[in-house]
Amino acid sequence: MKILKFGGTSVGSAARIKGLLDIVNPSERQIVVLSAVAGTTNALVEISQAYLVGKKDEAKQLIKQHKDKYESLIKELFTTDQGYKNGKDLIDYHFDFIGSLSNEHFTPIEEKVVLAQGELISTALFHFHLNEIGVPSVLLPALDFMKIDEDNEPMVSYIGEKLNALLAKYPDNTLFITQGFICRNSFGEIDNLRRGGSDYTASLIGAAIQADEVQIWTDIDGMHNNDPRVVKNTTPIAHLSFNEAAELAYFGAKILHPQSVFPAQKYNVPVRVLNTMDPKAAGTLISKDGAQKGIIRAIAAKDNITAIHIHSSRMLLAYGFLRKVFEIFERYKTPIDMITTSEVAVSLSIDDTTHLADIIKEVEDFGTVSADENQTIVCVVGDFGQNTHGYAARVLDAVKHLPIRMISYGGSDYNVSILMDSEYKTEALRSLHNRLF
């Protein structure tokens, strides 16, 4: 069985929804994972924010605006009276439900319920469209099998058990549709896998049922060797290892959600990144044996980074110092991207500044602290194992004309990371591309 995930742009219009059958093969056993229609999640976030601050009239207006967009979509999508009625009843139900929450005490729990409506609508619309044109399909509610534990980690064995039981009920069906992003938490409440989580859903499903392949359909023909938005003549990479793809995704290659590789990697399920707009393009295959020795594969950049520098003479020859510092970040659930140390100083970077002020206040107990915002991590991915020669030097030579804040090398066999002010990002990407490729 194959798992096919389509993002918001792939279901962003009636034409796009109809065009999915150019890719989905109803004769093959497949599970189709859909995101919400493009723009829906952002609109639902706006509605939720209005509810959270008590602006019920604003929420009502936003609900109407977004429902009107769906009214236009279903008029284009359905060609029969019954098909249109099914679509109209669907959006009436979901938007009436969202509107009814104005009478509730709105909390983050209700917010997650609101955010789930986008995927529930998109999957039902595709299912109804297939019914209208006579293509059999089964709608599998993700809330019946997708679950996270008390640490917000997915319960892969549970997912596999529940999903296989559901699939067994339909031995003669080949095409199944389910929602990305949404799940239930350990309390049984509606929750989600965070933004971009549809990739993660597809990977988790593939891992849980040991699928033949997970396909991530997006709007570009695979993972490129640099950011095509700012660098000319980038090329798609035919084959990557799981480790290389994970590094690229984490450090800024937005085509793939950073977490999406890990379940597939753990259970050795190949992932293929493909282009909805150009289905014949080869895309990028990500698998266990994708790494190539002696090659630099790609460059990515991660923005909105904050660098924190801690200077303290107490570090000198002191054991336990870094542990105490890291415990502060752990307490505020703030991940660290990069870290460099010297005898009396440590510099590190974070991308979540939610608790930055509190973190700095506590870290100041250890020494002098400074923070630089608007930083970017530029990551070069390839073979940087201990037996390679000269690649790190080539990377640094390419950016020798730019001011560098931090360098991370040796922590991974797959990347060299450089921290710099964001104003130099574009020049760094272009210079590295010219020098390395």
pTM tops 0.75, yes or no: yes
- Name 340's bridge partners: 347
Question: DSSP secondary-structure letter at 111?
Answer: H
The answer to whether 128 is a known ligand-binding residue is no
pLDDT digits (tens, 9 = 90+) for 332-362: 999 999 999 888 889 999 999 999 999 999 9
The answer to whether 8 is a known ligand-binding residue is yes
Mean predicted confidence (pLDDT) in 202-208: 96
* % pLDDT > 70, the chain: 97
Q: Is 371 helix (H, G, I), strand (E, B) or coil?
A: strand
Choice between 253 and 374, residue whose per-residue pLDDT is larger:
374
For domain 295-434, give the CATH number: 3.30.2130.10
Retrieve residue 218's tokens: 């997006």
CA 154/CA 361 separation, integer angstroms: 34
The answer to whether 229 is a known ligand-binding residue is yes
Close Cβ partners of 182 (under 8 Å, ≥ 6 residues apart): 115, 116, 119, 120, 142, 143, 146, 190, 191, 192, 193
Q: Is 227 helix (H, G, I), strand (E, B) or coil?
A: coil
Nearest to 224 by CA among 318, 113, 135, 300: 300
Pairing verdict, β 30-34 and 175-179: parallel
Please report the pLDDT score of residue 317 as a whole number.
Answer: 57
Q: How confident is the model at residue 254 (pLDDT cuts 50, 70, 90)?
A: low
Query: Which amino acid, residue 97?
Result: F
Kindly report the backbone phi and psi dihedral angles of residue 78, in degrees, each rounded to the nearest multiple of 5, phi listed first: -105, 140
Please report the pLDDT score of residue 427 as a whole number.
Answer: 97
Domain parsing of the chain, residue ranges: 1-217, 295-434
pLDDT digits (tens, 9 = 90+) for 120-164: 999 999 999 999 999 999 999 999 999 999 988 999 999 999 999
Sign of CA dihedral 50, 53, 57, 60: positive
Nearest to 91 by CA among 115, 120, 49: 120
Q: Topology of domain 1-217, per CATH?
A: Carbamate kinase (3.40.1160)
Residue 294 pLDDT > 80, yes or no?
no
The answer to whether 218 is a known ligand-binding residue is yes
The answer to whether 178 is a known ligand-binding residue is no
The answer to whether 5 is a known ligand-binding residue is yes
Close Cβ partners of 93 (under 8 Å, ≥ 6 residues apart): none
Mean predicted confidence (pLDDT) in 410-418: 86
Between the CA of residue 9 and those of 5, 68, 101, 341, 392, what are the distances in Å?
12, 19, 28, 43, 38
The answer to whether 330 is a known ligand-binding residue is no
